[in-house]
Copies of this chain bind each other. A is one copy, B any other.
Amino acid sequence: MKSIVLLGSTGSIGTNTLRIVERFPRRFRVAGLAAGRNLSLLIRQAKTFRPRVVSVEREADAVKVRRALAGLKIEVLAGSQGAESVAARDDSDIVVSAITGVHGLRPTLAAVRAGKTVALANKESMVVAGPLLRKEAARSGAVFIPVDSEHSGVFQCLAKESRDAVRKVILTASGGPFWRTPLAELKNKTPEEALRHPRWKMGRKVTIDSATLMNKGLELIEARWLFGLDPDELDVLIHPQSVVHALVEMRDGSVLAQLSVTDMRIPILYALSYPERGEAVLPSLDLARVGPLEFHPAEEKRFPLLGLARRALAAGGSWPVALNAANEVAVRAFLEGRIRFGDIAGLVRRTLDGHSRTDCRAIGDILEADREARARAFEKLKLMQR
């Protein structure tokens, strides 16, 4: 029986994780949940899974949750400290880190410092704090198991291959809803159109990032730190069928690939079960029915944010922090109808153009770089707004 702490329990990864826990009650139980502001869902989850502790974003909400869970012997915490306390609990075997955005960093770091096995879905942690997380994990013995489908694929392909044997790691991208859209039409795509992802059902932020390919850019940076790769060992291919999630090219020319049906429960189940493999919760992939598998280069002309992400990947230090912060501001502005789809990349570029690199060795440096980039992005946003 594995005891699970779930950070970000009300999001897409969180709810899918709980579906798996529900399916295998003898293999997994929930020790703790941390959520944001979706109180009604958190309360329902707490009543169903009976963790020892839950945490919410705001103290005022904690009061409400305490009232709703009265008599169930569930401790209710609040704020980043609450989430960190849930993350570092002694009674968990695995911490699923699935809080979206840079907010996930502190709780993830707490889990790493506590030497946990961290099932990492919060890619921003690794993007903004890769070197720090690696250093802390080396010290505490924490282990990362990726939950992204692409990184889970890489992890599975790497298996017992030696680092020296790896020549290239290729992440696939579906290309999102616009990879065939005439370039001239791209810039005016609406949030509704951008949110209509052809393959994956995900949160709003990550769905927009999939349409711009920023998602893949962030994943390149994440892969760098998760697997200890050099920037030039990382690549992207557009693969509209989203059946092959990752490819690893070895030095002898052999390529290993990981495939599955398009459902987040597969990498989640893998991460929860590792080093064993759980029993499938979904029908098998039937390649004869899927139809031809296509692969295309990811053109930076169409996906300028991928180019900016590569620049940040190569520059390192505070660059990925600024990239991620500027993108979060830009995507929110797009979803709120304040800028056009085509302006997302422009806003990120303008923010990065003035960026001066710092080293980001400690969490304070990272949060400072994040704040600065957000402030700059908001300035640029004001100049661009319609």
B254 touches A277 (CB 8 A): yes
Nearest CB in chain B to that of A172: its residue: B287
- Closest approach, in angstroms, between the C-beta of A244 and any C-beta of chain B? 8
Within the assembled complex, what's the spacing in Å between the Cα atoms of A296 and B288?
A: 5
B255 touches A260 (CB 8 A): yes
Per the 8 Å Cβ criterion, residues 251-284 of A in contact with B are 251-261, 266, 269-270, 273, 276-284
Task: Tell yes or no: A285 within 8 A of B by CB.
Answer: yes
Task: Tell yes or no: A322 within 8 A of B by CB.
Answer: no
- Tell me whether A285 and B253 are in contact in the complex, defined as CB-CB below 8 angstroms, given that A165-B277, A293-B292 are known contacts: yes
**Most B C-beta atoms less than 10 A away, residue of A161, A254, A282, A293:** A254
Q: Mark A161-190, 1 if CB is under 8 A from B, else 0.
A: 110010110000000000000000000000
Per the 8 Å Cβ criterion, residues 136-158 of A in contact with B are 156-157
A288 touches B157 (CB 8 A): no
B237 touches A288 (CB 8 A): yes
Within the assembled complex, what's the spacing in Å between the Cα atoms of A252 and B260?
A: 10
Within the assembled complex, what's the spacing in Å between the Cα atoms of A202 and B307?
A: 44
A247 touches B259 (CB 8 A): yes
Within the assembled complex, what's the spacing in Å between the Cα atoms of A269 and B157?
A: 19
Task: Tell yes or no: A230 within 8 A of B by CB.
Answer: no
**Most B C-beta atoms less than 10 A away, residue of A160, A252, A281, A285:** A252
- Tell me whether A280 and B256 are in contact in the complex, defined as CB-CB below 8 angstroms, given that A295-B287, A295-B288 are known contacts: no
- Tell me whether A266 and B253 are in contact in the complex, defined as CB-CB below 8 angstroms, given that A159-B160, A277-B161 are known contacts: yes
Task: Tell yes or no: A249 within 8 A of B by CB.
Answer: yes
Within the assembled complex, what's the spacing in Å between the Cα atoms of A165 and B270?
A: 11
Cβ contacts under 8 Å, A273 to chain B: 252
Within the assembled complex, what's the spacing in Å between the Cα atoms of A297 and B273?
A: 32
Task: Out of B161, B162, B270, B296, name the residue touching A254 (CB < 8 Å).
Answer: B270
B260 touches A280 (CB 8 A): no
Task: Tell yes or no: A290 within 8 A of B by CB.
Answer: yes
A256 touches B156 (CB 8 A): yes
Task: Tell yes or no: A250 within 8 A of B by CB.
Answer: yes
Task: Tell yes or no: A294 within 8 A of B by CB.
Answer: yes
Cβ contacts under 8 Å, A167 to chain B: 280, 284
- Tell me whether A258 and B254 are in contact in the complex, defined as CB-CB below 8 angstroms, given that A293-B292, A294-B292 are known contacts: yes
Cβ contacts under 8 Å, A161 to chain B: 159, 277
- Closest approach, in angstroms, between the C-beta of A174 and any C-beta of chain B? 15
- 9 CB contacts below 8 A, A to B, read A159-B159, A251-B277, A252-B269, A253-B283, A254-B260, A254-B277, A255-B258, A292-B293, A292-B294
For the complex of A and B, the 5 pairs showing the least CB-CB separation, nearest first, are A292-B292, A287-B295, A253-B280, A159-B159, A165-B277
